Amino acid sequence: MKKAVAHLRASDPVMDRIIERVGPCRIGYHAPDFRALARSIVFQQLNGTAAASIFERFEQACGGSVTPEAVAKLRMPKLKAVGLSERKAEYIRDLASHVRRGAVDFGSLPSLPDDEIVERLTAVRGIGEWTVHMFLIFALRRPDVLPVGDYGVRAAVRNQYGLAELPKPSEMRRIAEPWRPYASYASWYLWRSLEGPAEL
């Protein structure tokens, strides 16, 4: 992590300024399992604090352990009662079904390259590129993930790099070129540069 931070500070003066203000990098990681991916689904398009509260209630409804087997026992009214939208509840149930029948194998993911993981997981209903990017960063601990579709990262880039509007993916990639191969750490600092929390 120190090597990543040193690279970011040396390669990009804007990132250097952000790091100076935010301080040490303290990314919170999750185990690369069903729970982590279900958590990413819950966090889709929600404020971090609200999503964390919903996920906590969801975990309690699962008996304290978010597993495919626990999810399979929960009916839709119970899932909606904890704060999940019907669509997200369906997504999590579909993911649980994929895992239970062996279509998604979390044990095999750590050995695969990022692009293949994206391809495999986005085949599951309700899991898009953003969700997989969060899983890659916060569960598989991949160091060079650039979540070009994340609103927070885009807003931070707009603010910090003096852009008139939210950057498009191509512009994000251009700006991020000096961060390679540590775009995940740069993304974390961009989240932290915002006023709100960046918990994931």
Active site residues: 150
Please report, as a single letter, which amino acid is at residue 83.
G
